[in-house]
Amino acid sequence: MQTLRCDILILGSGPAGLAAALAAASCGKQVVILDDNPRPGGQIWREGPQVQLPALARRYREAVAAEKNITSLNGARLIARPSAHRVLFETADDSGVVEWQKLILCCGARELSLPFPGWTLPGVTGAGGLQAQIKHGLTLRGQKVVIAGSGPLLLAVAATVKKSGGEVRQIVEQAPLSALLRFGSSLWRWPEKLRQLATLAPRRYLSGSQVIRAHGETQLEAITLRDARGVERTIACQRLAIGYGLVPNIETALHFGCTIADEAIAVNRWQQTSVANIYAAGECTGFGGSELALAEGEIAGFAAADAEACAQAHFARRERWQTFAQAVNRTFTLAESLKNAATPDSLLCRCEDVRCGEVADADSWHQAKLTRRCGMGACQGKTCAATARWLYGWPLPQPREPLSPARTETLIALADPRTMR
């Protein structure tokens, strides 16, 4: 088992994590980045056979690789926090401990999935999930695809599907047309986003609508949507990519005792959490896009390195992209009517086959877990807990160690006094 020591440990190597690492390293701090992906870049800067990295992503990745003060641990999962300033991690071949003085959480976010009849059929995936599969080499040549849910990601997914040879039959956005028009009229404040919208704008875009059923026996064959007028229609397709925005990954912050506000990690102007020596940046502090994540990452990195003047130089850039994030969040607020798509027979917890009707009378996650084993399967509630929180208002469960699946020998290390001290 290896032991690494650093001034600053960064959990996550997306845009926020890379920016934080470079900022801290430029101040002479020894930095370790820990991330479970095989390459740095997070979910947004993901490369593959069909997708090249943006030039900006390449510059950040190359700069981190060239920086002698940064050690990157890719393909490494966080397992436990055996003591206040030590974390246990595991890779495919080994395990180890990192001792740190300050910590920056850049844990990102994941898609919110909402249940409806047929949502577990083969061919139905998350919107971002389908995009990730395409980037890793999936081809959709000749396949008919419906993209649904909410948020700007739907347009980016549609562009990726087209590049892969798929036919986008329909984009189904739940936000009303009035909100979209207000948002579009405000984009002059962010010209780069206006140009991006011009390149992504599709022809088959339906607002104020939602997918209410997916049809098929062993494979997705069609979907039924309900439009803003309440009219239902069915569209034949082989794939449905559906996602209702992003939810911050806050499990690690909860485990470390950080305060959560508005379902994200609460931070002050220096990106510091409620816990001393722990900072947070990027989507785990609230959805805002890569531009905001980069600004927050630089502020967190400089602040953790005690270079407050350097951190303050990025406040205006952060404020600009926070304003954009607020506009996005207002526009794509999820309608309460989306909850009506979940029927009593709809699966909530896919791992344990728990249906919505089976937990309808539960008043908390704890009760649903005790009575129906909700969240006790392979993913340990990482998918269904966020869904249940939105559907029923249950607080997220407190994470327990191990924080990720681990080998027996790694868990045994937790009993070793040298690891625990």
Q: Consecutive sets of 10 residues in the chain, 421 residues long: mean pLDDT of each?
A: 95 98 99 95 80 88 97 96 94 94 97 96 96 90 97 92 94 96 90 79 88 97 97 98 96 97 97 98 95 98 98 98 96 95 95 95 92 90 91 90 90 75 63
Q: Is the peptide bond prior to 402 cis by the omega test (within 30 degrees of 0)?
A: yes
The distance of Cα 368 from the centroid of its chain, to the nearest Å, equals: 25
User: Please, is 196 exposed, middle or buried when counting C-beta atoms within 10 Å of its C-beta (0-12, 13-18, 19+)?
Assistant: middle
Structure confidence at residue 69 (pLDDT):
98
381: left (phi over 0), alpha (psi -120 to 50) or beta: left
Element (H, E) at 181: helix 177-186
Of 272, 314, 261, 262, the C-alpha closest to 292 is 314
Residue 408: how many CB atoms within 10 A of its CB? Answer: 7
Residue 64, CA distances (Å) to 18, 21, 99, 292 in order: 7, 7, 20, 19
Residue 62 one-letter amino acid: E
Both tokens of 15, joined, read: 């845009």
**Are 2-110+247-328 and 113-244 the same fold in CATH?**
yes
Residues 248/43, Cβ–Cβ less than 8 Å:
no
Both tokens of 42, joined, read: 């997070």
Residues 25/271, Cβ–Cβ less than 8 Å:
no
Both tokens of 25, joined, read: 């390293």
Residue 337: how many CB atoms within 10 A of its CB? Answer: 10
Both tokens of 108, joined, read: 């990102």
Within 13 Å, how many C-alpha atoms sit on residue 284's CB side? Answer: 32
Structure confidence at residue 176 (pLDDT):
97
Both tokens of 74, joined, read: 């890719």
Phi, psi of 97 (to 5 degrees): -125, 140
SS3 177: helix
List residues bridging with 146 in a β-sheet.
Answer: 170, 240
Cα 109 to Cα 405: distance, rounded to the nearest angstrom: 19
pTM for the model: 0.95
List residues bridging with 72 in a β-sheet.
Answer: 33
Residue 66: how many CB atoms within 10 A of its CB? Answer: 8
Of 24, 21, 68, the C-alpha closest to 42 is 21
Cβ contacts of 16 within 8 Å, gap of 6 or more: 106, 108, 281, 282, 283, 293, 294, 296, 297, 300
Sequence-ordered strand ranges (E) for 333-415: 347-349, 354-355
List residues bridging with 5 in a β-sheet.
Answer: 99
The domain segmentation of the chain, as residue ranges, is 2-110+247-328, 113-244, 336-421
Structure confidence at residue 279 (pLDDT):
99
Both tokens of 56, joined, read: 């900006």
Q: Hey, which CATH number is domain 2-110+247-328, 3.20.20.370, 3.40.50.10320, 3.20.20.70, 3.50.50.60?
A: 3.50.50.60
**Residue matched to tokens 């577990």:** 120
Both tokens of 94, joined, read: 């080994």
261: left (phi over 0), alpha (psi -120 to 50) or beta: beta
Cα 200 to Cα 27: distance, rounded to the nearest angstrom: 39
Rg (CA), the chain: 22
Name the class of domain 113-244. Answer: alpha beta
SS3 277: coil
